[in-house]
Structure 1
Amino acid sequence: MTSALANYATEADPKQGFYGTPGYPQGQPGYPQGQPGYPQGQPGYPQGQPGYPQGQPGYPKEQGGYPGYPSGPEPGYPAPSQPGYPGGPPQYSSGFGQPPVVPPPYSHIPSANISQPAMYGGTSYPEDPLDEHVENFDFSDKSIRRAFIRKVYAILMCQLLITLSFVTLFTFHDATRTYIRRNTAIWWVAFGVMIVTLIAMSCCTSVRRKSPMNFIFLFIFTLAESFLLGAVASSYQGDAVMMAVGLTAAVCFGLTLFAFQTKWDFTAMGGILLVCAIILLIFGIVAIIFPGKTITLVYASLGALLFSIYLVYDTQLMLGGKHKYSISPEEYIFAALNLYLDIVNIFIYILTIIGASRN
């Protein structure tokens, strides 16, 4: 029994174990000694051989930007055989004609934060349609408009002080009153100067915008108008003149507050007011031809009402904002001139009403 097993062991394959199962070779463990998992000096990828052959990049070097796709072969011809990516991008081999053309790249990409010039100086920024509280330009516009309103009222106050001085002098100074009544030629000279300067400032943009020419013309106009108004007031009694001054101040102050606070937009009534002014002018000519107390009172009342509406209209033009029309901030002389003429006409019509009521 023992000898039989010994003979079987000597005759069996030394590389096989008992019962025909493979065994480990003698002198060779699970991993060969001195030989690691990867041979020494030979990394996973052969040295000097990258994934793409050297000297042959994926796209030719001489084509910058977006390289155009090579045109495909003619329909009906078999596609040429090509290896992986040895010499460039793959060729289109379908029979559907030319591949779609790739559009050229954008040369300029607009930025969302590019500043844009704004009106009257400053910088405005593009508004976000989803943002309901864009206040950059709105704040600048409000500040400009407030400065414009302050300048207009400052000029207007100076004009009214000059006019009030002339009216007071011609009304209460007897020598001046007598001189004006005897020398009517001065009245016509003042009337001519007033008409010329008024037309120049109304029709010539450079005259009313260019400083200091605009202030010079406005000052000459104010002197001429004040002289004419003083000459008219000199034919009335002093208390009647002072009553007219007080009523005019109260009416204008109330109308100005109304123009500031009301939601009604009077700036769209320019055409209607112009037609009413023409009708009033024709009615005034009729009142001169057919004088009388009643027709004078009616004429003066309509005139005071019309120029009261004109005062609200011109005030809202100056305010701007949500109104349909507005005056440019560069037109401060024109705005002051309009308000001044409205107040002067209201004063004349109120004085006419007081004088007609007293005979």
Structure 2
Amino acid sequence: MQTQERNTLQHTGVSEVEVSKLFRNTYTLLAMTLAFSALVAFTSMSLNLPHPGLIITLVGFYGLLFLTAKLRNSSWGLITTFVFTGFLGYTLGPILNAYLSLPNGGQLVTMALGLTALVFFGLSAYAILTRKDFSFLSGFIMAGFIVLLGAVVASFFFQMSGLQLAISAGFVLFSSAVILYQTSAIIHGGEDNYIMATITLFVSIYNLFLSLLQLLGIFSND
């Protein structure tokens, strides 16, 4: 296994030292951005700030994502990474307030957080310990993105609880696949930029948490 791994790294021109450094930088930045986003979300909740709305959320999300990708090789990329994750934390605040206003809202949020942590660390540990190459998931991820995008657009015209359930479940599977794919890409040299690796994992965790929260809310009739 180790010999095969060395051959793979040599083939991609990435050394084990570089992979270790990429892992360290990625997970350090991920921990920092998660903490910063949580702080912004708490502030948004405490001030009872309104949700920015769908249009502003989409423009802010994709605009900051594009800017971060463009600046990923400079120190400005770190700044836009925190702006991006902070913005997502701000959008999360009003959503959490809405759930916490429910009779069992605190329990739902706690369960969603626990399940998110369990899924993320479980999938990451599996990819790291087995060192399997999950690059084959790229096709599934692309197809899943297109299907989910179409389903989200359809949900604006057809208000069906079954559709919302399917979308949330789809995002759980999609986010899980992205976590496996991105972790594997770091191991096997498919990703060499820790900022982009951090952003990918952060968005996956964000979507996973929201999807699990919505699923728990649906199953509890909230």
Quick check: TM above 0.5?
yes
Cα distance between partner residues in 1 of 2:165 and 2:208: 14
Q: Secondary structure at the match of 1:209?
A: coil
Deviations 1:173-199 (A, max 9, x none): 3xx22xx23xx5588656533322211
Shift in Å at residue 345 of structure 1?
0.8
Alpha-carbon displacement from aligned partner over 1:49-108 (angstroms, at most 9, x marks no partner): xxxxxxxxxxxxxxxxxxxxxxxxxxxxxxxxxxxxxxxxxxxxxxxxxxxxxxxxxxxx
**Which of the two has higher C-alpha Rg?**
1
Amino acid at match of 2:171: G
1:149 aligned to 2:23?
yes
Tell me if the contact between 1:314 and 1:335 (Cα under 8 Å) persists in the aligned partners.
yes
Q: Of the two structures, which has the highest relative contact order with CA contacts closer than 8 Å and spacing of 6 or more?
A: 2
TM-score, length basis structure 2 = 0.83
Matched, 1:225 2:88: yes
Structure-to-structure mapping, 1:245-284, within 5 angstroms: 245-262=113-130, 264-284=132-152
Distance 2:130 2:84 in 1: 32
**2:205 paired residue number:** 343
List runs of 5+ in structure 1 lacking aligned partners: 1-133
Deviations 1:296-327 (A, max 9, x none): 2222112101110111001111112xxxx611
| 2:151 is equivalent to residue 289 of structure 1 | no
Contact 1:252 1:343 in 2 (8 A): yes
How far apart, CA to CA, are the structure 1 residues paired with 2:63 and 2:89? 15
The answer for the alignment partner of 1:13 in structure 2 is none
Residue 165 (structure 1) aligned with residue 27 (structure 2): no
Change (3 A) 1:209 1:275: same
CA distance in structure 1 between the partners assigned to 2:140 and 2:187 by the alignment: 20
- Report the TM-score, using the length of structure 1 for normalisation: 0.53
Secondary structure at the aligned position of 1:326 is classed as coil
Where does residue 77 of structure 2 map in the other structure? 214
- The DSSP-based 3-state class of the residue aligned with 1:223 is helix
Q: In 2, Cα distance between the equivalents of 1:187 and 1:287?
A: 13
Question: Distance in 2 between the 1:309 and 1:303 partners?
Answer: 10
CA contact (8 A) 2:169 2:211 kept: yes
**SS across alignment from 2:15:** helix
The letter of the residue matching 2:63 is: V
Q: Sort the Cα spacing of 1:272 and 1:157 in 2 relative to 1 into closer, same or farther, 3 A.
A: same
Counterparts in 2 of 1:263 and 1:208: CA distance versus 1, 3 Å? closer
Q: Is 2:134–2:184's contact at 8 Å kept on the other side of the alignment?
A: yes
Identity across matched positions, percent: 23
Shift of 1:160: 0.8
Q: CA deviation at 1:170?
A: 4.2
Match of 2:174 in 1: 306
